Structure 1
Amino acid sequence: LNLLKEVVEDYQTQLSYSSDEDARKGHKTTDSSFFGYKTHIALSDERIITAAVITTGEKSDGKYLQELIEKSKQAGMEVDTVIGDTAYSEKANIEYTKEEKIALVSKLNPAISEGNRKEEDKFEYNKDAGRFVCKAGHLAVRKARTGKKGQNRNQTET
C-alpha cells in the first residue's frame, strides 16, 4: 500500500512540475529527486563559465566532461587541470585527460575502483543517488555489497 501511495505521489509531483515531454527525473541524493533538466558547466579559476551543456535530469555528470573541455578550448581557454567530484572519475575521462595531458582531480568512487561490472554498458553509476541507473533512467531499488571481507578479492556493489 505504501509503495502504491509513493508511486501515485511521484506521478502527481511530476505532472505538477512540467508538461514537458522531454524532461526526466534526476537525483540529488538517494532520497531526493527532481524533475526537469541538468546544466553541466565548466568554470575558470575566476569562476567564469567557459562551457555549458544542458541535458535531461537523469543523465550522469561525468559523460559530458570531454564536451565541456572541448567547448572551453574553443572559447579560448587553456585547460591544464580539471577538478570534479566522483562522477568525473570514469575510465573514459581518465583516458581522455591523460591523452590530452590534462590533470584530472577527482576522487575515485568505490563502485568504480573496486567494482567488477560485466555488463557495464547497460548501467551507469549515479554518484548523487548512490545507485546504478539503467539506460531508461530508472534508479536501482536497492544495492548490496557482495563478496566476503578478508578474502583475496574486493567486495563489490551490486
Structure 2
Amino acid sequence: MLHRQSLAAGAAGILLAAGIGATTVPAGASAAPPRSTTPPATAQVVNVRWGTHPAFDRLVIDVRGTLPPVKVTPVKVLRYDGSGQRVPLPGKYFLEIRLSPAAAHNESGQSVYKGPRLVRLSLPALKGVALTGDFEGVVTVGAAFSAKPFYKTFTLHSPERFVLDVAHPAPVCGR
C-alpha cells in the first residue's frame, strides 16, 4: 500500500511540474494569487514607459519573469486584437511589438499590467503608445510615429525589459 501511495504522489508531482494539474475554484470566487517570489511560468508584461534623449526616443516594455521572444513589425495601421478596431493614435507610421509567450494578466485572469492602455505623446519621434492585445499567450503593443521610424532594439536584464530606440527625424531644411 505504501508503494502505491509513493507512486501516486510521484505521478502527481510530475503532472504538477509539467503544468498538467487543474485547479478548481467555485463560481463567484476568486483564487488568491500565490505569495511567491518565483517568476511566473509565462512572462507577464507589467508596464510600458518612454522617454526622450538628445538623438532618440526610447520605449521600454517591463516584463516579470523571463523575457520572451519579441517581434517588431511595421504595419500600415494599428488594430486592437480581438475586435479588429483601429487604434486611435496619431501618426502615419506604426510599429507592432509582439511578445510571445506572454500575458498582461495572471493565472486568475486579473490584470498585472499597470501601464497606459492608450496615450498620445508629443516626443520628437514617438507620437503614441497603446496596449493593443493580451490574448492566447500574445501581448501586443503599438507605437505611432509621424515620420518613418528608424529604430534598434535590445534587451536589458535585472529587471527584464525590452527596449526600442527610435532615432529623431532629421530636421527639414527649407529654402
TM-score, normalization: structure 2? 0.24
Larger radius of gyration: 2
Please state which structure has a larger fraction of its residues in helix. Answer: 1
Structure showing greater relative contact order (alpha-carbon pairs closer than 8 Å, 6 or more residues apart): 2
- Larger fraction in strand: 2
